[in-house]
Every structure is written in C-alpha cells, then in structure tokens.
Amino acid sequence: MKKQQFISDYVIYDDEKELELKDAELLSQAHEAVQGSYASYSHFHVGAAVRLLNGVVVKGANIENAAYPSGLCAERVALFAAQAQYPDVPIEAIAITAESEHNEIDEPIAPCGACRQVMVEAEQRSQRPLRIICQGHKGAIMVFDGIETLMPFIFLTKFL
Ligand SMILES: [Zn+2]
C-alpha cells in the first residue's frame, strides 16, 4: 500500500485589477453574459465567457427548464457554442461568474463536475491547458491553469 496526495495549484487574486488585461476583459464579458441567464427555478444566474486562440469571445449563460435535466450550465452553453461556431479554433480560457437573487455572491464559483468533464475534452481538442477564471458577483478571483488542477484522475478518451 502506498498513500498518495493530490495537490492542486491555483492562484487567488483580490480583484480584477490584479489580472492580466485580457483575462480582466474576459471576466467582464462573463459578467455581461449573466444577463442572458434564464434561472426561474434556482434564481442563481451564471455567466460564462470563452476566449478562443483567435481572440474571439463566445458567451453563455445558464438556461433552466421546468423539466430540470433539460437545462444547461452557462459553462457548457458557452463551450458548446464555441465548438459549434469555431470547430477548428483552440479554446484558451473560460471565465465564470454568478449572481443570486437571494445572496450576494462574493466568493468564486467553481464549475460543476459535468462542466469539468466537458472542459477536459475541450482542453484535449485544443491541445493546450485551459485557463479557468472563477469569480462570484464580485470579490476574489480564482484562476486555474489546466483542468487537471480542478479535476484529478480525469476520464480520458484514450480509455475508449
Ligand atoms: Zn456545470
């Protein structure tokens, strides 16, 4: 038997002024994307913005449905739209923000497990580490370089 440890490296910034300009701009687009959210049930509005290697930004927002599984997270809306519109352009970064009608979200919101799995494959297709920038409505920002920092022991297509 051998006990092992998983260590995740990430960076916390106090606010957007500490970010590189292009990441601060992407985060700003994610905040704008919240306006497209349809969250009639959770009242939790999420915005995401994906930056492609060619500089194009594709936005997404969470879309809920009375038949709950039919809805989709903002991150996957943005990642799938980016893939559908720019299938040959690598994805460089995604910024994620959130607003709640009930609480002030002043800490970073991390993506759910299903979105992390989609990020795994987006990263593999892009053949470069995905930068993941997470914030709430305001406050500190967490930045992860590479999905493996958020999701250890990922399911890889090489197993298929
Ligand atoms: Zn999700």
Q: What order of strands is seen across the sheet that includes strand 141-145?
A: 11-13, 141-145, 131-135, 91-100, 44-52, 57-61
84 in a domain, yes or no?
yes
Residues in the chain: 160
Residue pair 131/145 in contact by the 8 Å Cβ criterion:
yes
Name residue 56's beta-bridge partners: none
Q: Which residues place a Cβ less than 5 A from the ion ligand 1? A: 73, 112, 115
Residues 6+ apart with CB under 8 A from 42: 64
* Cβ-contact 135, 96 below 8 angstroms: yes
Asked, for residue 113, whether it belongs to a domain, the answer is: yes
| 12 neighbors 141 (Cβ within 8 angstroms) | yes
**75 is an active site residue:** yes
**CB neighbour list of residue 87: distance below 8 Å, 6 or more residues apart:** none
* Domain assignment present for 5: no
Centre of ligand 1 from the C-alpha of residue 115, in Å = 4
- Is 107 part of any domain? yes
**Domain count of the fold of the chain:** 1
Residues paired with 50 in a beta bridge:
58, 94
Q: Is there a domain that residue 115 lies in?
A: yes
Q: Point out the catalytic residue in the list 16, 64, 75, 99.
A: 75
Q: What is the pLDDT along the chain (160 residues), one digit of tens a residue?
A: 999 998 999 999 999 999 999 999 999 999 999 999 999 999 999 999 999 999 999 999 999 999 999 999 999 999 999 999 999 999 999 999 999 999 999 999 999 999 999 999 999 999 999 999 999 999 999 999 999 999 988 887 777 7
Q: Report CA(3)–ligand 1 centroid distance (Å).
A: 31
73 inside domain: yes
Tell me the residue range of the domain where 52 lies: 11-151
Q: Is residue 159 part of a domain?
A: no
CATH number, domain at 83?
A: 3.40.140.10
- Evaluate whether residue 74 is within a structural domain: yes
